[in-house]
Amino acid sequence: MSTKKIVIDPITRIEGHLRIEVEVDEEGVITDAFASGQLFRGIEYIMRGRDPRDVGLIAGRICGVCTNSHFRAAVSSVEDAYSLEVPTNAVIIRDLMAMALFIQDHIVHFYHLHALDFVDVVSALGADIPSTVKEAYKYASDPYRNSESHYASLKNRVQKFVDSGKLGPFANGYWGHSEYRLTPEQNLILLSHYLEALRFQSEISKAVAIFGGKTPHPQSIVVGGITSVADMLNPQRLNDYLFVIKEAKEFIDRAYMPDMRLLAEAYRGDIKAAQGRANGNFLAVGGYAFDNDRKLFEGGAIFGHDFTDIQPFDEKELSEAVDRAWYEGDEVCYTDLNDDGTLKTAEPTDKYSWIKAPRYKGEPMETGPLARVLVSYHKGGLIKPFVDEFLEAADLEIIDLSTTMGRNIARAIESSFVCEYIFKLVSRLLQNISYYDTQTWCKYEFSEMPPESSGRVFLEVPRGFLSHFIDIRESKVERFAVIAPTTWNATPRNRDGKRGAYEEALIGIKLADQSKPLEVLRTIHSFDPCLACAVHVIDLRGTELSKRLLRVE
Ligand code: NI
């Protein structure tokens, strides 16, 4: 059977530069796929020779989106190297920033980076306004901004866009594609939420900035604690924070979650056909203590969808390889494209990505909200009732979440869950302060810290499982390494030829129109790719990233 190659480069509506190549058979079914990180980064080189107290501010620049995640992780890796005990208040403040970021990231991802893979903007213009109001009540008891006047004015605005021929952010969509399944009324509801979410995501950013000084690139996390002490002690600032979260929760309950139910119904066939399912390997490290013995997320590893055997996370099982990435020993080793402009992938040793290949127990793993939900759910974690409620309302099973749509459902459930627990975190902070525990940093003398030391941190961040590793020599950074969530999901093959999560998720998908590969975009977008974060160079010697912690095959 002859195959044809389809190249999508760049994939848009993501952070960074990603190229996807798929091979399709005569029926238009994807038979093979290659994900290629197209952006070379060198932040680890910049780190060398720096003062370890500066790594947070530098690492925050790895990405323009995940700034807070890298900032915190890098600072925590130094704290680990110096064995510093960070006070409870500082941990809570860091968690409050992280939690706001979870919500902000998930809302931006779904509405602004992904929704238009499901929502046909042009079709919304055909919506009947009274029917739209009625339709929204099918999925929510009190739908968000659900009035005839609101929808009529929205429709008017979009019509003006279309009439002027300038679709702005909606230009170049595959409008009219047969894989768009929503009715004009449903499209109008989602389009309304798309625009409302634009306002929300900027509001939620303010919540991060209350304790971070600003966002992106917050300033308030330092080795040993936090600096936003006055904000922590000011009841008005805490109120401001909670006000934003309450508003976000309302949007999540009345728009985001109902939209997931609507989509789960409209795309039920794809869900049941397991569209976008990867290899069933999931990795989560868990974390975010809110009580003495309970955590927001559980950690563990699942292999091949075997939910009966969730293995505890063990850092000794992490490894990284560059057999198929553009590195060789001491050198960067870029190999150009084939004459026809496609990636060199024909040979099992051909290199095709700037992304390295992280493995857990030698296996490619999927990380992210879906991995967290599946691990926590099966370990009886706190999120379980939230998941059960959705599954029951949508008449789905837990395995159905291991799909393109399921990744979005997991993200929405997680947003709702996190909102709920933010209030508990704030109560814990207030309780601490009322007992006159106002400590926000641990005192240490830099000159007394060991000049040679290594540290690492494993953290759940919005896009998944993030690791930072640091080696300190003569009180300077000698080596610094990152494995970001997208490094896991967008990994190239290894010498064993096993596909990564992006690649595996595409296999078996049938393209309705090969000139408009909407199904590919949809599945890749469901992972919330962040390529700026994903690409990290290896140590120049091409071997170990952190002597103590990381085995490189
Ligand atoms: Ni990022």
d(CA 20, CA 260): 27
Helix (H) or strand (E) holding 520: helix 518-525
Nearest to 455 by CA among 59, 40, 46, 42: 59
93 C-alpha to ligand 1 centroid (Å): 21
61 C-alpha to ligand 1 centroid (Å): 9
CA distances from 243 to 301, 310, 423, 478, 495 (A): 36, 38, 11, 43, 51
2 C-alpha to ligand 1 centroid (Å): 38
64 C-alpha to ligand 1 centroid (Å): 7
98 C-alpha to ligand 1 centroid (Å): 14
Helix (H) or strand (E) holding 506: helix 501-506
Residue 434 confidence (pLDDT): 84
533 C-alpha to ligand 1 centroid (Å): 4
Fold of 1-40+278-402+487-553: Cytochrome-c3 Hydrogenase; chain B (1.10.645)
374 C-alpha to ligand 1 centroid (Å): 23
**Pairing between β-strand 18-24 and β-strand 30-37 as defined by DSSP bridges:** antiparallel
Q: Is 336 in a helix, a strand, or coil?
A: coil
251 C-alpha to ligand 1 centroid (Å): 24
15 C-alpha to ligand 1 centroid (Å): 7
116 C-alpha to ligand 1 centroid (Å): 21
For every residue of 350-414, DSSP letters joined together read: ---BSS-EEEETTB--B-SHHHHHHHHHHTT-TTHHHHHHHHHHHT--GGGGSSHHHHHHHHHHH
531 C-alpha to ligand 1 centroid (Å): 7
**Max intra-chain CA distance, the chain:** 74
337 C-alpha to ligand 1 centroid (Å): 27
Written as six digits, the tokens of 12 are 């848009």
Q: Is 207 in a helix, a strand, or coil?
A: helix
* CATH superfamily to which 85-169+185-267+421-443 belongs: Cytochrome-c3 Hydrogenase, chain B (1.10.645.10)
d(CA 22, CA 411): 26
Domain-by-domain residue ranges, the chain?
A: 1-40+278-402+487-553, 85-169+185-267+421-443
Helix (H) or strand (E) holding 248: helix 235-251
451 C-alpha to ligand 1 centroid (Å): 31
Residue located via tokens 């909606």: 170
Angle formed at CA 417 by CA 412 and CA 418, multiple of 5 degrees: 100
463 C-alpha to ligand 1 centroid (Å): 8
Residue 35 confidence (pLDDT): 96
d(CA 105, CA 94): 16
**Rounded mean pLDDT for each run of 10 residues along the chain, 553 residues in total:** 85 89 95 92 86 96 91 98 96 95 96 95 95 98 97 94 79 87 97 95 93 93 95 93 95 98 98 98 94 88 97 94 82 87 92 93 97 98 97 98 98 96 88 87 96 97 96 96 95 93 98 93 96 63 37 31
The pTM of the full predicted model, rounded to 2 decimals, is 0.94
Judge whether 502 and 527 are in contact, CB under 8 Å. Answer: yes
36 C-alpha to ligand 1 centroid (Å): 16
Judge whether 508 and 38 are in contact, CB under 8 Å. Answer: no
Residue 532 confidence (pLDDT): 82
532 C-alpha to ligand 1 centroid (Å): 6
Q: Is 176 in a helix, a strand, or coil?
A: coil
- Residue 243 CB neighbour total at 10 angstroms: 13
461 C-alpha to ligand 1 centroid (Å): 10
Residue located via tokens 């980076």: 113
d(CA 351, CA 60): 29
Residue located via tokens 């990435």: 325
Residue 542 confidence (pLDDT): 38
**CA torsion through residues 266, 270, 271, 277, sign:** negative
20 C-alpha to ligand 1 centroid (Å): 19
d(CA 187, CA 127): 8
d(CA 19, CA 17): 7
Residue 329 confidence (pLDDT): 62
367 C-alpha to ligand 1 centroid (Å): 14
CA distances from 416 to 248, 258, 338, 381 (A): 9, 12, 47, 15
Identical topology for domains 1-40+278-402+487-553 and 85-169+185-267+421-443 = yes
Angle formed at CA 234 by CA 229 and CA 239, multiple of 5 degrees: 120
88 C-alpha to ligand 1 centroid (Å): 27
Q: What are phi and psi of 350, to 5 degrees?
A: -65, 140
Written as six digits, the tokens of 77 are 């890796």
Q: What are phi and psi of 543, to 5 degrees?
A: -120, -110
**CA torsion through residues 87, 90, 96, 102, sign:** negative
74 C-alpha to ligand 1 centroid (Å): 14
299: CB partners within 8 A, 6+ apart: 284, 285, 286, 287, 312, 313, 375
Residue 13 confidence (pLDDT): 87
